[in-house]
Structure 1
Amino acid sequence: MQKSEELAETSVIVFKQLLELGIAPNRLFIGIIKNDNDTIEAWSTNVDGSKLANQFSPQASKNKSIKKMLDGWKQQKKSLVVDMKGKELETYFRYLSEDMKVPFIDGLKQKRRVQTIAYFSGGLIGMAAPEEQPDDTIHLLERFAAVFNLTYTRFKDLKIAEANAEKAEQDLIKLQAAKKSAEDALSELQLTQTQLIQSEKMASLGELTAGIAHEIQNPLNFVNNFSEVSKELLDEMLEELENGDMEEVRAIMDDVIQNLEKINHHGKRADGIVKGMLQHSRSSTGTKEAVNINTLADEYLRLAYHGLRAKDKSFNATLVTDFDDNIGTIKIIPQDIGRVVLNLLTNAFYIVNEKQQSNKNGYEPTVTLTTKKTGNLVIISVKDNGNGIPKHVLEKIFQPFFTTKPTGQGTGLGLSMSYDIVTKGHGGELNVETKEGEGTTFIIKLPNN
């Protein structure tokens, strides 16, 4: 027995076996006791032994004869004979025919109907006849019930497996929808890269995405992989259901549940990244080349200074450079390191300009750019004499979208992108030293291989 509907087929088989043994029942029915201990989920034959099309569910609380049958099960009896006549029989027939819609042809004309019931752990097997059955028939029915109990135990496992499989399939559908949503979000994220290029503050970083696509692709890969594995496991589970190997079905179900939990975790992770990073950039595809770092630093110093001067004619600052002539060339991606230097210098000029506007008494805004070769490292430092960075802010400065600038004046991506370019793109370090009230120094350390 593979499905609950097959209980009707089982009732037909038992009916035919009784006929072969010389026993002529009016009907043969199999009932499963529901959890409320009041309802019997029943499958029955017709009078001719054919399968009754519809399952029906009589309730003990609605009929006295049904209650007797159910009470025998509650009392853990092996069998019971319910002998119905007169008013009881009339009430029983009316309940089944009118309320349960069980079809009767000539049965309603009977003056006596004897239900011989044999019980198993989850319900009963009943045989209806116009007269009481001999003890041999009752014992035979008891043996049928004992054998059927083994089948019923397997049937219960199958019912649980069917429910779990259906739930797992529904969960997989939902997770596939979530996966599709995350993929759509990634596509939308990629489209917004053009907006990043157009942003005035981030125009110089237009070709980068600083690992955001990579960060989203990781959880999406997990979602894809675990979804595919879960689908294969469900296919295997269906095969094991057909084979009736419930132990293997349970093992597969445990694997599917674990996969679904992992898919859910990584789906939420991708969703969080998308929501938090509406615009970001990808790693540069440029190749490293030998570059004179002093020339690059000097070019971006002038670019940053004159860029700010173009926006604010009143801004002035002292520019101090100290370049180590012994560095020579270093292999880097010039556009990327140039963007980092530009970002650090732009921030430094913004900081000293802010302090100048709030402190007119003898303050001279100064930005110092230095390069130095130390062993196998090339060090680039950008120092300002601004107000320094408070400790509670210092912990967050490399986080994407964190900014202390007023709304509209900063995207919060500059330092996070710069950090990734130096550390991930070049295997270097980006550190910061600061003292409140005195200034800040950003230190880039690049390997000189």
Structure 2
Amino acid sequence: MPHTTPRLRRVRRALAAGTAAVLLLLTAQTATATASTTDPAAPELLLGQSTRGALNDFNSFAQGADGGSVYYELRSGDWVNAEHRAFAEELASQGKTVQVGISWKDNPPGFEGGDENAKAARSRAVTAEIAAGGHTAQLDRLLAFTNAHPSASFKLRLDYEVSSFYHCTDASCSSYKNAFNTLAAYLDGHSTAHNLSFVYHPVRGEFEQLYPGDAAVDWVGVSIFAHELCLPIYDRGYLYNGTPPQNYDVGANQCRNAYIGTDQNGNPAAVWRNFDHDANVLKLVKFAKDHGKPVVLSEAGMMNFTADNGATDGMEQVQGDRWVQRLFSLMNYRGPIPNLPGEYDLRGVIRSVVYINLDFRYGWDGIDDGSFDFAPDTTWFVDGRLSHYAAARASFCRGLADNGFTARCR
């Protein structure tokens, strides 16, 4: 699907600044970008997150993954830990794609403790400070890394799952929009390798109000866990997509929403039906398509679907397979969108998938080091490694082949 490339975006930014000499270059590069982006390209499979363990498990039954996903902190101006950097180094040295989550909401600079409200308040303040040009020096270590690996590609999430609660100082959310554009300009301006693209990754319900604009955004990201695919999760009791019971079909494990169809007379009317995908996810993908941006599923992983404390047998096998099938059906969605009129073709908009292929029973990095990050009866307590789910693994392998991924199962 055609979208603005980082190179073309830089040219457009120069034009906006009044550099008239770029006009001829823009014409030539527009032709080049159009030719390259209209050719069909294989979607991209990245493995997450954070450590080589995710890649090791995938390589036990498949090969050809395009890269992986790691995290970098604004507060420390460094990778989250040595394992993240080592995984990024391995991928980048092979010329692969590295998605980097640049975080400040999880650990805001200057935050010395307090509850979640206090942390969110500091995160909002940091967002405003970034918009004013602050905190850019903390990115220099990352820039040195990306410049040292010119053959690699880096998808930089300028914070992730961004929301008004953590990033907006007013209703217009100019704080985050300006922060995104400030960071993108700084990174772009200091990149000698020109191998960076910028990912806008909002929470699924606030993608419009925080959007930084077409000029700086290269990709639109979204997280895909259980709710996004209309599947229940176990968290001290079932949660049905976080919606009232009338909006969830328990037997079918589907969301139930109205869309604008027609009545028997051909007049616009609300029509109820079941959906495999959350309405806000479908709307986000449509939004990205309308803005000419490809979508990256920046975080996609299984959750604790049943009340079995993270086991990998029984209903986990059934629901895990259902989750995988819906993941790939999202890539090929064509049909109605809740509360919107008409039919929509969203095929080909999702061009990159980051599958979190790790064991959440041992925390965000899936490392069994004796510490337990998630209680046994909470949503994250699950082994999401595809090697442990025969049906889900088979569906994943089919999805890779059917959708033209370079990565394939053996």
Q: TM-score band (shorter)? A: under 0.3
From the two aligned structures, give the one with the greater helix fraction: 1
TM-score by length of 1: 0.19
TM-score by length of 2: 0.20
If you compute each CA radius of gyration, which structure gives the higher value, 1 or 2?
A: 1
Question: RCO higher in 1 or 2 (8 Å CA, sep ≥ 6)?
Answer: 2
